Structure 1
C-alpha cells in the first residue's frame, strides 16, 4: 500500500492525554520513538502527529533535581506537523496500528511508535537529519545561540555527569557492567586530568549534570572546568553535540549527544551500550586507571 496515506504518532506514555502525560521516561528515552517516527514519515511522506512532550513526574521533585523533566514550554510542532485540535481529532478517530504491524495498515490508519526499539540501530545514518529536525521544534532557539557564544563548544570538551535516579554503584556493579548506575566522580576527574595535562591547560571543560554543585565539587574544583548553566534538557543535548569531544555518562542522554554530534567520545569501560559514531575509532572505553590512547586524542578536532 501507499504509506503516504498514513499518519505516524510517537506515543511517549500509556497515560497520554493528548495535551499532557503522566509518568514516562526521561528525554533521552523519549527521543527514540520520536526519531523512528520522524525517519518513517520522511521516507514515506506520511503525516507526522506531534507527540505529547509535557509530562508530570513526582520522582524529580522528591529528589529535588534541578530539571523536573516536565518538558513544558520547550517544544512546538514542526512546520509540517499536526498538533492542536486536529491532533486531538486524529488520535480519537483514527485506527491505531503498532509499529510492529505496519504491514497490516490501511489508508487513514495511524502508526504508533513506542519504546526504545533497537536504540540507535534503527537510526544509523540519520544523525544529521534528526539533529536538524530536533532544532526545528525547539522553542528557545535564541537561548541556544546565546549559550553557544558563552560556552564556545567547538573549542571545548563536554562532560556529562548523570546522577538523578541512577544508583550509587558498588565495586561489583562496575565490574559486572550494570546499567543505570552513577559513574564515580573520580573517573571523570581522572579523565579530565589526563586531557588537561595533554593540552597544557589550554582546553575548557563544560560540565552538564543533574547533580548538585556539592556532588560535583571534586570535578568543578579542577582547572579549566566549569558548569554549563542556563539550558533545559533539550538544549543541553544539542549543546553537548556541538562540542569537540564528550566525556560521557552511561545514560541515553549522553548517547544522544554523541550520536547527534558524531564527535569523539569517552565512556566508562564496559558501559558503552552501542556504537554511535560512523567512525568507531572515535569512541573509546576507559577504565578507572587506564590511560587514554594518544591516537584518540589526535582525533579530537578544535575549530
Structure 2
C-alpha cells in the first residue's frame, strides 16, 4: 500500500499518542522507546504526543522533564474518556515496514484512523529496536538537552576534559544488574554486569596505544568503591558529584570519541545518539552464519525480510572493514582498523587545524589525497 510522506493537512480533531508505562515505570533507557514511538506515531496521524507518565516512577524523571506528579492520573483519564486504540508489535509486523512512523501510517490507512477526529493511541515496548525509532533521534536529543541539569552538567564535563585528547566513555553498569560471573554463558544475556577485567583490558590497550593522548570518562550507577580498581588504574573523569545527571550522562557518552558499552539499554541509547564507534562485549552477541548480532535470535529477525537477515546478506556481499559497533572478546584486544580510525579522530580533534576556531590548514592540503 502506498502511503504518502507528505504531511497531512492540519486536523480539527484531537488525536493523542500516549507512551505506555508499565507498572510504576522503568529506567530512562527503557522509557525512551515508547516516548520516541509516541512522537513518531503523532507525525504519522497528525496528532499530539504526550511524554510518558513519570509521576509514579521512583527515579523521579518528572523532575527532569517538568511533568506533573499526577500525570499518570491524566493519562488514565484520557484513555478511559476517549476512544482508545493500541498499536502492537503484531500490528507493526503486519505492515512490513521497519520504520515506526511509516508502519503507523500504513496501519492508520488500513483502519481508517485518518477519518477519525477524536481518539487516543497507545504505543509502547522495545520491539522494533532502534531501527524503528531512528527518525526520532533528533526529537529525543532535543528532550534530553532541555532536561533539568543538562546544561550545567555538560559544562562541568567540558571544563574537565581536554578537547584535543581522545575521549573514551566507559559505561560500567552495576546497580540492579546481577553480578558478573566468569562461569556463565553471556550469549544473549541481558541485565548482567560485565567483568570489570574486560573494561580494564580494553582501556589498557587504548592507553598502551595512545599514551597520554587518551582520557577516560566513567559512567556508572555503582558506588566509587564498586569500581575502585578501574578508578585507581585509569584516573577517569567522573560525575559522582553531579546532581540530576541521568540525561547529561547519556549526552556526554554520546559525544565521546569512543564508547565502551555495558549490556544495557542505557549504553545502547548512548551508542544510538552518537556517531562515534562503540565497543561491545563479544561473548554476549548471537552467532549465526558466521555473523555476530544483538537481535539475530529474535523470531522477527529470522525470516528473509527481517532486518538482521537482510543486513547479514548485505554484509556477506560487502564485508565491513571497520564497523561502528565493534565486538571485542574477553581479552579486550581491539582490531587495528578501530585503532587506525581513532588515530584519525585524534588528528581531527586538533584545535590548530580547526578553521572555525582560528586554526590554519596548509595550502597544499586541497591537493592531497
TM norm. shorter chain > 0.5: yes
Q: Which residue of 2 aligns with 1:118?
A: 128
Separation (CA, whole Å) in 2 of partners of 1:282 and 1:84: 39
1:221, CA displacement in angstroms? 0.8
Q: Which residue of 1 aligns with 2:216?
A: 205
Distance change in 2, residues 1:39/1:153 (3 Å): farther
Separation (CA, whole Å) in 1 of partners of 2:157 and 2:186: 37
Q: Which residue of 2 aligns with 1:288?
A: 330
Say how many residue pairs are matched. 275
8 Å contact 2:39–2:136 — kept in the other structure? Answer: no
Q: Which residue of 1 aligns with 2:272?
A: 259
Specify the SS of the correspondent of 1:285: strand
Query: Pairwise mapping of residues 1-303 of structure 1 onto structure 2 (< 5 A)?
Result: 5=13, 6-13=15-22, 15=23, 22=24, 24-57=25-58, 69-76=59-66, 90-100=78-88, 103=108, 104=111, 105=113, 106-136=116-146, 138-152=147-161, 155-229=166-240, 230=242, 231-271=244-284, 273=294, 281-300=323-342, 301-302=345-346, 303=349
Specify the SS of the correspondent of 2:219: strand
Separation (CA, whole Å) in 2 of partners of 1:117 and 1:70: 25
Separation (CA, whole Å) in 1 of partners of 2:17 and 2:154: 31
Specify the SS of the correspondent of 2:122: strand
8 Å contact 2:36–2:136 — kept in the other structure? Answer: no
Q: Structure with the greater relative contact order (CA < 8 A, sep ≥ 6): 1 or 2? A: 1
1:131-186 CA distance string (max 9 Å, x none): 234324x1334324423423438641110011112112333424544221110111
Normalising by structure 1, report the TM-score.
Answer: 0.79
Separation (CA, whole Å) in 1 of partners of 2:74 and 2:62: 20
Structure 2: segments with no counterpart, 5+ residues: 92-106, 286-293, 296-306, 308-319, 350-369
8 Å contact 1:169–1:181 — kept in the other structure? Answer: yes
Separation (CA, whole Å) in 1 of partners of 2:249 and 2:231: 18
Specify the SS of the correspondent of 2:134: coil
1:41, CA displacement in angstroms? 1.9
Specify the structure having the higher radius of gyration (Cα).
2
Structure 1: segments with no counterpart, 5+ residues: 16-21, 58-68, 78-82
Specify the SS of the correspondent of 1:74: helix
Specify the SS of the correspondent of 1:180: coil
8 Å contact 2:201–2:332 — kept in the other structure? Answer: no
Separation (CA, whole Å) in 2 of partners of 1:237 and 1:200: 26
Distance change in 2, residues 1:239/1:8 (3 Å): same
1:288, CA displacement in angstroms? 1.5
Normalising by structure 2, report the TM-score.
Answer: 0.66
Separation (CA, whole Å) in 2 of partners of 1:120 and 1:256: 8
1:43, CA displacement in angstroms? 4.3
Measured on the aligned residues, the alpha-carbon RMSD in Å equals 2.9
Q: Which has the higher helix share?
A: 2
Separation (CA, whole Å) in 2 of partners of 1:109 and 1:202: 56
More displaced, 101-110 or 85-94? 85-94
Distance change in 2, residues 1:126/1:9 (3 Å): closer
